[in-house]
Chains A and B, each alone.
Chain A
Amino acid sequence: MAFDLEDLYRTTYDAVVRFLYRKVWDADRAEDLAQEVFMRALHHQPEKPRSWVFAVAANIARDEARSAIRRRKHLTLLSHEPIASPTPLGDVEDDLEQEEREAEVKRALATLTPRDREVLLLWDAGLSYPEIAEQTGLAVGAVGTTLARARKRLVAAHDKMEQHRDEEPSAAAYS
């Protein structure tokens, strides 16, 4: 089958951005990285483009996380924070609430083991069990088990947070 970048881009770009966003938590950065993924895809012309794209995205995100830590060190030295959230549109309150909800999901995701999180994000990105198995090195039969556990933990962790927030509203620390 001939490699069709346009088709791949059309069908997976959004999913790749979402996948990366849930790893780097920065919309612009996620898009930059996604662009890079597709540049590499054009260069490599992979046989199984869909799985390939997410495998590369996962690698890039991992490298990104390492360099982010390095950058943060520099920033602390420079002692001034970059201005985040370039969203001029919309209610400030809505934005805050949305940010808070997203932060909750982020923290809930952080409670998962790396493997559970990876499987969950890959499933949400639209990969099938065999594709997920191939990428994570799990047996196909174990993907269902992992996914079941990941879903349960995500929802449980999130609900616990919400309960906590309802009990002591002031303690809803924004991480």
Chain B
Amino acid sequence: MRSRVRPHIPEDELHAYLDAQLSPAQRAEIAEHLLACLICRALEGEVRALRIRSGELLALATPRTIRGLPLPARRARLQLRTGRVAAIAAATLVVVGGWSLGREDITGTGSQPVLATAFVAPAILARVVAPVAAMDSVTPAPARSTTARTLTLASRATVAPRVIPVRQVSGSLASRRLRAMDPMLGVAPSSGEGWETTSFQEARAAAAGAIAHLDGIPVNTVRLQPSSQGGRPTAMVRQLLPDGRAVWVVEGAIEELGPVYQLLEASGLSLSTPRRARPDYIGSDEHPVRTVRMVTVAAYLPIDSVEALAGTKLKLD
């Protein structure tokens, strides 16, 4: 899928991007990069905040009335100013709330999500109660080295991933925007696509012992979709990393993976390069037909991390 290694987006390009001053092609390229790159997404968040803040400051330097037309009341402007930290707090709470809600929606069990929220919340709250620190993050000291800066961005991206709405470009779904954090939502049994939830053991039995997964990482949920051609089902396995974040392993016949890949792409996940999974033989015993099956690892992680997981941990049975 995304085999090309691209450099991170320069900051000035993000300004131009957010100022809507790029050509459609440039816009598309940056949007695509932002989908895959948590670091740039974090930087984009900072640039966005910086834009808003500098606009607010300039708005303070405005004549009170122009030609007798009252501008927004001074009082309101002052409140806007002093209410900024509160606004950030509120917005952040929404983010935290959304995150935990999203996760509870998916797992249903509630044990892991609480953990995840607890993991995220202190880091964000620390930013809220320390506005000076938050401002510092908006305008980093020039002395800080690139490496340290990248690390900061990466860690921030990890605790508070930014979700971006995605435009799906396929057939009837052309302009649909979705904000799904978890592709499992798209393959829920209620989706009408024939997906079923099952345990790892049952799934293994149904797939003749071949369920692709990452070795040594606890399996959280397995969803199977019966193959329309009669081979092994398409499988999506969710596994939880030690820090509570999820990784998805998708395996199936190449003809049936299209919609699933679309779903994964639309979630803003990084996808490992699809590789061959165990083939399947369908049809009668006299004339067996060999199917091509592919397997991909997806996660909200930098693309190289996902490739590394796929390269080192992937087990096909």
Contact = CB atoms under 8 A, between A and B. Distances in A.
A28 B317 CA distance: 79
A139 to B, nearest CB: 12
Given A87-B64, A159-B139, A163-B132, A98 B16 contact: no
Contacts of A37: none
A106 B65 contact: no
B78 A31 contact: no
Nearest to B51: A151
B173 interface: no
A30 interface: yes
Nearest to B71: A14
Contacts of A101: 60, 78, 81
A56 interface: no
B15 A108 contact: no
Of the listed residues A18, A21, A30, the one surrounded by the most CB atoms of chain B closer than 10 A to its CB is A18
A98 B78 contact: yes
B138 interface: yes
Interface stretch (A40-48, A61-69, A71-79, A123-131): A123-131
B64 A27 contact: yes
A57 interface: no
Nearest to B139: A156
A152 B55 CA distance: 11
Contact of A151 (B15, B21, B63, B64): B15
A150 B63 CA distance: 22
Contact of B15 (A95, A147, A158): A147
B11 A98 contact: no
B296 to A, nearest CB: 36
A36 interface: no
B65 A27 contact: yes
B57 A105 contact: yes
Interface residues of B, number: 34
B285 interface: no
Given A123-B19, A155-B139, A105 B75 contact: no
A27 B289 CA distance: 82
A30 B108 CA distance: 61
A17 B63 contact: yes
Contacts of A144: 12-13, 15-16, 19, 21
Interface in B155-213: none
A164 to B, nearest CB: 12
Contact of A18 (B19, B62, B75, B136): B62
Interface in B87-123: none
Given A124-B55, A128-B21, A155-B53, A22 B61 contact: yes
Interface in A15-42: 17-18, 21-22, 27, 30-31
A31 B62 CA distance: 12
Nearest 5 A/B pairs, CB to CB: A27-B63, A144-B16, A151-B54, A144-B12, A145-B12
Interface of A: 13-14, 17-18, 21-22, 27, 30-31, 87, 90, 94-95, 97-98, 101-102, 104-106, 108-109, 120-121, 123-124, 128-129, 143-145, 147-148, 150-152, 154-156, 158-159, 163
